[in-house]
Structure 1
Amino acid sequence: MQAFFSSNAWTFPTGTLGTLTREAHERAAAVVGTLAELRARCAELPGALPFAAGLRGDQVRVIAEVKRASPSKGDIAPGLDAVAQAQAYERGGAAAISVLTEPSRFGGALDDLRRVSGAVRIPVIRKDFLVHPAQLWEARAAGASAALLIVRSLALDELPRLVDAAAEAGLATLVEVRDLGELDRALAVNATVIGVNNRNLETLVIDPATAPGLIPCIPASCVAVAESGMRTAADVSPAAAAGADAILVGSAISAAADPTAEVRSLTATPRRSSPRDAAAARACRS
């Protein structure tokens, strides 16, 4: 784990994340001109479903992801019907649905988000490489209750700007980090749902110790989400033991023959009985 966040520490991401972030800026440029229209559409919508509240409980909650492909695995479920898959997840006890809308490497589309949001009764999160406030208004207009913000892909002034834009649009945020420096940035913008990704998106390498190592550093007032590399309840247990409130799972359940049963098997993982506390958070920085 890296040390505290430095105000001069951010550089543009490299590798796969760098490519996806550049492409995200290009896609965002096409949305900026529609911002007034998006705001008007959002004003006509009912309030978003609560996101954070549903991610706490005696057992680990599951954010179940609709995912056709990825840069690390290639095709996962190229013919996947987003609505049918999301409904299967809901039947399995998922607390929320994550819908990938990135088109070039993940096979996603904004229409998937729109259709899923109208077909399930649980919160839906837009998962993409979001870099401009207009993309958050776009997500809310498509029915999302929350959106993913990846700290590593956002410059120092971009993260607070996007968090503020999400709040204005009526969206919750899942703020994703991988080390202490990024966690400090997330806490500086008062993130209430913080995800720890076991996968380094620049190299695509998974280190299953990342989430269990960093989650104890997340204050108990925040919801802590472990992400990537979990296929079975045994894979979830280290994060649960570290104090994770929820997990985000995509590839394993998107490719499953019975996604309802797969989600149900993951929701049975008990959480740690004692909450994360200030002493644990201080120990991370000692």
Structure 2
Amino acid sequence: MSDILQKICAVKAEEVAAARKKISLERIRADAESRVLTRDFVGALRAKTAAGQAAVIAEIKKASPSKGVIRQGEFIPADIAQSYADGDGRVSAACLSVLTDRQFFQGQPDDLKQARASCSLPVLRKDFMVDAYQIYESRAMGADCILLIAACLDDAQLHDFEAIARSLDMAVLVEVHDGPELERALRLRTPLVGINNRNLRTFDVSLQTTLALRAQVPPERILVTESGIATPADVAQMRTAGIQAFLVGETLMRAPDPGLALAELFA
């Protein structure tokens, strides 16, 4: 695990400990289990690819540890979500990803709640899961999908957290950075495998990470390429290689109208 990831995970453990003092695991679990109307995250991605379009998970985030503040000025998650849902009227997002981490990404749970309430797209809670409490918390705040980062979790945690998510009718996107992590991810039941092109130690980004690992992902899984998609040429390169699902954030967040930027990128 890289130093920054180790630091983030340590902060998450502290946050969970504080959250448990305010709301017990039993209460947050009961709240999660009472929320039965999830949106079909996997189905939304498959519907886009079935229509011959790229399946885009469009991200809402204000900042990142490596780039600082990404979206300057007004940051209104509901408006950004609606922009992604509309696109240009022809090309639009399949799903949303919302950063809820406060300390490193300047996000918060209300960002997810506002984004989900403003449109009909399924929503991924983008955060660093280190405790089962967070899985229940995610459903309680309205998430339809969670992110599990293989580098943060051992095999037992990956399986346990996936099982909890499935019991709550949430999808799981498992994120990997290399071959050994991919092997671990493929032992899970989820069809969603995200390959992050960002090196966790240097923060360098290379689309070759996805291209080098794509042959190891079985065709029945949905390979989501993450990070580094900045130009139509990047999209064309991925789609030519048979990759049809994308998680894109920074490029869109820097644009005045994120939805139109998405449509131009994936036209």
Common fold, TM-score beyond 0.5? yes
The structural deviation recorded for 1:47 is 2.3
> Residue 64 of structure 2 aligns to which amino acid in structure 1?
S
Q: What does the per-residue CA deviation read over 1:180-239, in whole Å, with 9 as the maximum and x for residues that have no partner?
A: 211111111222100000002233221221112212221111111000011122112222
Correspondence list, 1:165-184, <5 A: 165-184=164-183
Whether contact under 8 Å (2:235, 2:266) holds in the other structure is no
> Residue 111 of structure 2 aligns to which amino acid in structure 1?
D
Whether contact under 8 Å (1:212, 1:238) holds in the other structure is no
Whether contact under 8 Å (1:99, 1:125) holds in the other structure is yes
Give the RMSD, CA atoms, in angstroms: 1.5
Whether contact under 8 Å (1:16, 1:203) holds in the other structure is no
Q: Which residue of 1 aligns with 2:202?
A: 203
> Residue 53 of structure 1 aligns to which amino acid in structure 2?
G
| Matched position secondary structure for 1:149 | strand
Whether contact under 8 Å (1:64, 1:249) holds in the other structure is yes
> Residue 249 of structure 1 aligns to which amino acid in structure 2?
V
The structural deviation recorded for 1:90 is 0.8
Whether contact under 8 Å (1:61, 1:267) holds in the other structure is no
> Residue 179 of structure 1 aligns to which amino acid in structure 2?
D
Whether contact under 8 Å (1:124, 1:144) holds in the other structure is yes
| Matched position secondary structure for 1:117 | helix
| Matched position secondary structure for 1:65 | strand
Between the aligned partners of 2:19 and 2:170, the Cα distance in structure 1 is 18
Between the aligned partners of 2:153 and 2:177, the Cα distance in structure 1 is 13
Between the aligned partners of 1:117 and 1:23, the Cα distance in structure 2 is 26
Whether 1:86 and 2:50 are equivalent positions in the alignment is: no
Give unmatched runs, 5+ long, in structure 2.
Answer: none
- TM-score normalized with structure 1 length: 0.85
Task: Quote the sequence identity (%).
Answer: 38
Whether contact under 8 Å (2:195, 2:224) holds in the other structure is yes
Q: Which residue of 2 aligns with 1:220?
A: 219
The structural deviation recorded for 1:263 is 1.1
> Residue 129 of structure 1 aligns to which amino acid in structure 2?
F
- TM-score normalized with structure 2 length: 0.91
> Residue 207 of structure 1 aligns to which amino acid in structure 2?
S
Q: Which residue of 1 aligns with 2:17?
A: 29
Whether contact under 8 Å (1:113, 1:144) holds in the other structure is yes
The structural deviation recorded for 1:14 is 2.2
Whether contact under 8 Å (2:60, 2:249) holds in the other structure is yes
The structural deviation recorded for 1:127 is 0.2
| Matched position secondary structure for 2:175 | strand
Between the aligned partners of 1:267 and 1:28, the Cα distance in structure 2 is 38
> Residue 86 of structure 1 aligns to which amino acid in structure 2?
A
Q: Which residue of 2 aligns with 1:277?
A: none
2:39 pairs with one of 31, 46, 49: 49
Q: 1:34 to 1:243 in 2, by over 3 A?
A: farther
The structural deviation recorded for 1:158 is 1.4
| Matched position secondary structure for 2:194 | strand
Whether contact under 8 Å (1:113, 1:126) holds in the other structure is yes
Q: Which residue of 2 aligns with 1:274?
A: none
Whether contact under 8 Å (2:255, 2:261) holds in the other structure is yes
| Matched position secondary structure for 2:203 | coil
| Matched position secondary structure for 2:24 | helix
Between the aligned partners of 2:159 and 2:82, the Cα distance in structure 1 is 34
> Residue 164 of structure 1 aligns to which amino acid in structure 2?
A
